[in-house]
């Protein structure tokens, strides 16, 4: 019997004092460590027992080989040294998921932690102060039935500048804010939005200690990846062929996520990885962590179909404004005579410095303006360059010029300091000076936000987006989990055009939807936490009323537009909400009875054993009572399935029915 074998193994291991703690408890990790090191004393101890020898030793000729891998798996199994909760769960046949790497399995991580919420049960004072706690749970593929079926939406409100109105006739032009589990909402969007989303932006959980989530390595490298895999697979289906997905992530999980996204989207569909500077380098020398200071985050970019890589970006928005480049140091004073001078000399003249000018004239500027002379001189040159962009130029040496161009460059060297005009094979004029091509300043100007300015093409390092001072953007405060509106603006503008649809399944404080709304894009935002959804909802109300933070002044935002807010209709989810907020064992016991009577229980469990075990349930710690009640609920029935919309037990209102019919395109009322 399985149980008797564990008893034999435990009794045998207890004979070695090295594996016993001061409290008399077997040290699982230490046993595993010594097994992997092939400790001779441990192997001798195990070999002496006939039952254990038969399990872990294989005879090869006259010798026995110890299977340390099989032994380690056995030690890691939850049935080896189970705690009181595990013993209780086994008694009523509560299914558990093995702690194995889940990256490529068909399991589903249903719930997931947010940056300022908790993953595991913990009763410390700091954790008890948190408003909402998430209990992570993985469902094996054989437990999944109708989990990902479309759900019923309720509490539908139409928000305008004039207030809130009831709404029951959906169309694809509507902007959506949806409250509910993001995996299940994404699945519910598929019948309507598959192949229609142009841009997805997710600011996902970074899986670091700074997120205040006390998880272990098995979560970091299995459940976290499965959680992402489940959602990425649906995201890919939602994207248009030329659709792009952007995911913010720090270095802690960036490498793992990159590999996972290669698997889901295909390695050839990897577009870029952008490093974003989040703060200036710190100048102090106080106590810091060893190693380099981290002040960047990553932005992973993938496209659905690699064949659209050349056209998926909005080319007009691939440039950003840059300051005057002092390499543009010459200015044409007479285009017909091809006369030019150094732009610095004109700056001297503007500053009142008398001729003649030479390489030491800057000393006169310093004498006149003091230590600020460099800034003042730069400012004057910038003004000259900006107002004379068609005449200001620089020179550059072309890389690997063709024979024709080589000849022209050589000819110009024979006319030292003279501008030489040459024509290419197509008859186009080109200016050459001292063996280098002349490039006019006007060539680097682009129209950005309605202003013609010097610009540079975006690179894979973004250091121009200020992250300081964004705490109150949108009148919403969200510690650690907020991104600047300027960052989201850049992403949306390079990936979409007007009326394209943007999707954010980790909405948080609502930044993505706020920026999409201001930029005239359609959007869908998904959020599960009550507190976060409330913040996003209030933020969007402010947006349509013309709030002035973030990018508002830059784009002259004055308000307007509409959006829909709605939520997935709860079924078993309402019991999970009750469980997570209960504070006393007495109330939990009452809730136990309510759940047994009214909720949908996992049909793989023994109901008789559950009913008979109420006294043992009462002896569990409060956190384990909560965990048990959540585990016995049928996760396929967290929300009301659209297929059950006519079931009278769910009491779906006629107005909600009408909206859902219009949403899913089913008009058979």
Q: Are 500 and 522 in contact (CB under 8 A)?
A: yes
The pLDDT, as a whole number, for residue 491 is 97
- What is the C-alpha separation between 200 and 197, in angstroms, rounded? 7
Three-state DSSP at 176 gives strand
For the stretch 527-543, pLDDT in tens is 988 888 999 999 999 99
The pLDDT, as a whole number, for residue 540 is 97
The answer to whether the peptide bond before residue 356 is cis (omega within 30 degrees of 0) is yes
- Give residue limits of the domains in the chain: 2-81, 175-281+293-318+461-561, 330-456
pLDDT exceeds cutoff 60 at 284: no
Q: In angstroms, what CA-CA distances link 87 with 219, 589, 616?
A: 22, 19, 11
Question: Which range in 100-114, 452-466, 561-575, 586-600 is most confidently predicted, on average pLDDT?
Answer: 561-575
pLDDT exceeds cutoff 50 at 456: yes
For the stretch 477-523, pLDDT in tens is 765 568 999 999 999 999 999 999 999 999 988 999 999 999 999 99
Pure H helices in 98-154: 125-128
The pLDDT, as a whole number, for residue 607 is 80
**Average pLDDT of the residues in 462-466:** 85
Pure H helices in 239-317: 251-265
Q: Are 520 and 493 in contact (CB under 8 A)?
A: no
The pLDDT, as a whole number, for residue 100 is 43
For the stretch 389-443, pLDDT in tens is 999 999 998 888 888 888 888 888 988 999 988 888 888 888 999 999 999 999 9
The pLDDT, as a whole number, for residue 104 is 45
605: confidence class by pLDDT, cuts 50, 70, 90: confident
Q: What superfamily does domain 175-281+293-318+461-561 belong to in CATH?
A: Vaccinia Virus protein VP39 (3.40.50.150)
470: confidence class by pLDDT, cuts 50, 70, 90: confident
Element (H, E) at 579: helix 573-581
The pLDDT, as a whole number, for residue 617 is 87
The pLDDT, as a whole number, for residue 81 is 65
The pLDDT, as a whole number, for residue 395 is 94
- What is the C-alpha separation between 233 and 266, in angstroms, rounded? 12
Q: Which residue has the higher pLDDT, 462 or 86?
A: 462
The pLDDT, as a whole number, for residue 434 is 92
Closest CA to 300 of 318, 262, 269, 273: 273
Neighbouring residues of 315: CB distance < 8 A, sequence distance ≥ 6: none
Poorest-pLDDT segment among 171-180, 326-335, 618-627: 618-627
Three-state DSSP at 637 gives helix
Element (H, E) at 409: helix 403-413
The pLDDT, as a whole number, for residue 227 is 85
The pLDDT, as a whole number, for residue 30 is 81
For the stretch 253-274, pLDDT in tens is 788 889 899 999 999 999 889 9
Element (H, E) at 53: helix 50-56
Angle, CA 585 vertex, CA 581 and CA 589 arms, to 5°: 95
pLDDT exceeds cutoff 70 at 205: no
Q: Which residue has the higher pLDDT, 620 or 196?
A: 196
pTM of the model: 0.75
pLDDT exceeds cutoff 50 at 232: yes
40: confidence class by pLDDT, cuts 50, 70, 90: very high
pLDDT exceeds cutoff 80 at 579: yes
Q: For residue 71, give the DSSP letter.
A: H
Q: In angstroms, what CA-CA distances link 324 with 352, 511, 608?
A: 22, 32, 78
Angle, CA 539 vertex, CA 536 and CA 541 arms, to 5°: 110
Q: Which residue has the higher pLDDT, 99 or 180?
A: 180
The pLDDT, as a whole number, for residue 136 is 64
Poorest-pLDDT segment among 306-310, 337-341, 404-408, 546-550: 404-408
R_g over Cα of the chain:
33
pLDDT exceeds cutoff 70 at 211: no
Q: Which residue has the higher pLDDT, 213 or 408?
A: 408
Residue 73: both structure tokens together: 């798996």
**Mean pLDDT for all residues in the chain:** 84
Q: In angstroms, what CA-CA distances link 282 with 292, 294, 295, 452, 615?
A: 11, 10, 9, 35, 58
pLDDT exceeds cutoff 90 at 646: yes
For the stretch 102-146, pLDDT in tens is 344 567 777 665 444 444 333 333 333 444 455 567 777 767 778
Q: How many residues does the chain have?
A: 669
DSSP 530-578: HHHHHHHHHHHHHHHTT--STTTTTTT------EEEEEEPBSTHHHHHH
């Amino acid at each position: 019997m399985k149980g008797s074998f564990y008893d034999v193994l435990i009794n045998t291991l207890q004979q070695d004092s090295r594996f016993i703690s001061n409290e008399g408890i077997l040290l699982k990790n230490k046993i595993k460590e010594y097994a992997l090191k092939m400790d001779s004393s441990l192997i001798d101890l195990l070999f002496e027992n006939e039952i254990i020898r038969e399990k872990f030793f294989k005879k090869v000729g006259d010798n026995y080989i110890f299977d340390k891998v099989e032994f380690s798996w056995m030690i890691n199994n939850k049935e080896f040294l189970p705690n009181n909760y595990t013993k209780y769960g086994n008694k009523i046949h509560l299914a558990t998921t093995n702690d194995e790497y889940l990256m490529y399995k068909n399991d589903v991580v249903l719930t997931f932690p947010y940056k300022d919420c908790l993953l595991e049960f913990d009763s410390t004072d700091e954790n008890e102060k948190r408003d909402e706690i998430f209990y992570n749970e993985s469902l094996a593929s054989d437990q999944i039935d109708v989990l990902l079926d479309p759900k019923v939406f309720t509490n539908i409100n139409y928000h305008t500048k004039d207030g809130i109105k009831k709404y029951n006739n959906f169309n694809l032009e509507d902007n959506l804010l949806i409250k509910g589990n993001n995996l299940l909402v994404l699945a519910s969007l598929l019948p309507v939005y598959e192949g229609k989303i142009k841009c997805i932006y997710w600011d996902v959980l970074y899986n670091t200690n700074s997120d205040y989530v006390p998880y272990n390595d098995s979560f970091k490298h299995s459940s976290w990846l499965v959680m992402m895999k489940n959602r990425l697979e649906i995201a890919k289906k939602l994207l248009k062929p030329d659709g792009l997905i952007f995911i913010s992530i720090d270095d802690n999980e960036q490498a793992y996520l990159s590999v996972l996204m290669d698997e889901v989207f295909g390695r050839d569909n990897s577009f870029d990885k952008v490093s974003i500077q989040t703060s200036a380098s710190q100048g102090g020398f106080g106590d810091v962590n060893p190693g380099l200071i981290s002040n960047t985050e990553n932005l992973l970019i993938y496209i659905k179909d690699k064949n659209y890589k050349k056209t998926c970006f909005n080319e007009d928005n691939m440039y950003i404004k840059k300051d005057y480049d002092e390499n543009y140091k010459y200015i044409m004073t007479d285009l017909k005579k091809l006369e030019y001078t150094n732009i610095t000399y004109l700056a001297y003249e503007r500053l009142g410095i008398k001729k003649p000018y030479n390489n030491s004239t800057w000393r006169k500027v310093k004498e006149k303006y003091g230590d600020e002379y460099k800034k003042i001189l730069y400012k004057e040159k910038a003004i000259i360059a900006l107002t004379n962009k068609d005449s200001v130029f620089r020179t550059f040496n072309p890389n690997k010029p063709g024979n024709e161009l080589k000849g022209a460059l050589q000819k110009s060297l024979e006319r030292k300091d003279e501008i030489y005009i040459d024509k290419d094979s197509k008859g186009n004029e080109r200016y050459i000076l001292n063996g280098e091509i002349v490039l006019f300043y006007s060539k680097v100007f682009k129209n950005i936000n309605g202003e013609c300015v010097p610009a540079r093409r975006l690179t894979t390092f973004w250091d121009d987006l200020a992250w300081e001072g964004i705490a109150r953007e949108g009148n919403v405060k969200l510690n650690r989990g907020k991104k600047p509106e300027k960052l989201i603006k850049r992403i949306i503008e390079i990936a979409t055009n007007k009326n394209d649809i943007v999707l954010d399944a980790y909405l948080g404080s609502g930044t993505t939807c706020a920026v999409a709304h201001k930029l005239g894009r359609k959007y869908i935002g998904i959020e599960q936490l009550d507190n976060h959804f409330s913040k996003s909802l209030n933020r969007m109300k402010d947006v349509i009323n013309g709030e002035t933070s973030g990018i508002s002044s830059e784009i002259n935002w004055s308000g307007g537009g509409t959006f829909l807010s709605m939520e997935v209709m709860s079924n078993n989810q309402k019991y999970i909400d009750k469980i997570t907020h209960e504070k006393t064992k007495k109330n939990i016991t009452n809730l136990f009875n309510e759940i047994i009577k009214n909720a949908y229980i996992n049909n793989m469990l023994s109901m008789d054993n559950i009913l008979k075990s109420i006294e043992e349930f009462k002896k569990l710690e409060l956190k384990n009572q909560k965990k048990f009640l959540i585990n016995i609920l049928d996760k396929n029935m967290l929300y009301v399935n659209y297929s059950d919309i006519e079931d009278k037990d769910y009491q779906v209102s006629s107005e909600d029915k009408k909206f859902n019919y219009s949403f899913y395109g089913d008009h058979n009322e």
